[in-house]
Amino acid sequence: MSPLEMQLHDLKNGPLHHFSDWPNKDMPRAAAGVYSIWNKSDDFIYVGMAGNGKTADDIAAALAKGRTTGLRDRLGSHASGRRSGDQFCVYVQDLLLLPQLTSDHIDKIVTRELAIDRLVRDYVHAHLSYRYVITEDGKAALELERNIINGALGDHPILNPPAGMR
């Protein structure tokens, strides 16, 4: 199996980590990589990457300094449910959560009795899991992510398919 085939296999069939178990203590503090997100029905929901613009030296320096960057930082943002600056959480809100909201939910959001970021977090924790692979650097992660968006896993992600399929 080629390195690319191994990465694709791991992103489709590798160990599944539940957002409800976040943080993932086995994930390196600093790493570039790609992750795939799946729902409980094993539908391919989203693919993302972390470490854009990071070189292998940048990652090694962050590790040496004990900094958190890359995959752990990105998946932690997704696990938080906070929509500000997180396109995945915006997609979850718009395409997965909003169709389920009742008028009571909406009334409570409008009166600030209920925070929509909390609902996004609860949805992510209750319904979604992820797989990830580490790449040498951000450039490799970006290339792998693009291949997957374009169907390298055999399907397109539901939340972020290629532009022509939206």
The per-residue pLDDT for 1 is 87
Pairing of strands 30-39, 69-70: parallel
Output the pTM of the full model.
0.95
Task: Give 6's strand partners.
Answer: none
End-to-end Cα distance, the chain: 32
- SS3 state at 129: strand
> CB of 16 within 8 A of CB of 52?
no
Pairing outcome for strands 128-135 and 17-18:
antiparallel
pLDDT of residue 164: 78
Query: How confident is the model at residue 91, as a pLDDT?
Result: 98
**Domain extents for the chain?**
3-152
pLDDT in tens, the chain (166 residues): 899 999 999 999 999 999 999 999 999 999 999 999 999 999 999 999 999 999 999 999 999 999 999 999 999 999 999 999 999 999 999 999 999 999 999 999 999 999 999 999 999 999 999 999 999 999 999 999 999 999 999 999 999 999 877 7
The answer to whether 65 and 73 are in contact (CB under 8 A) is no
Nearest to 62 by CA among 9, 138, 153: 138
CA angle 8, 9, 11 (to 5 degrees): 65
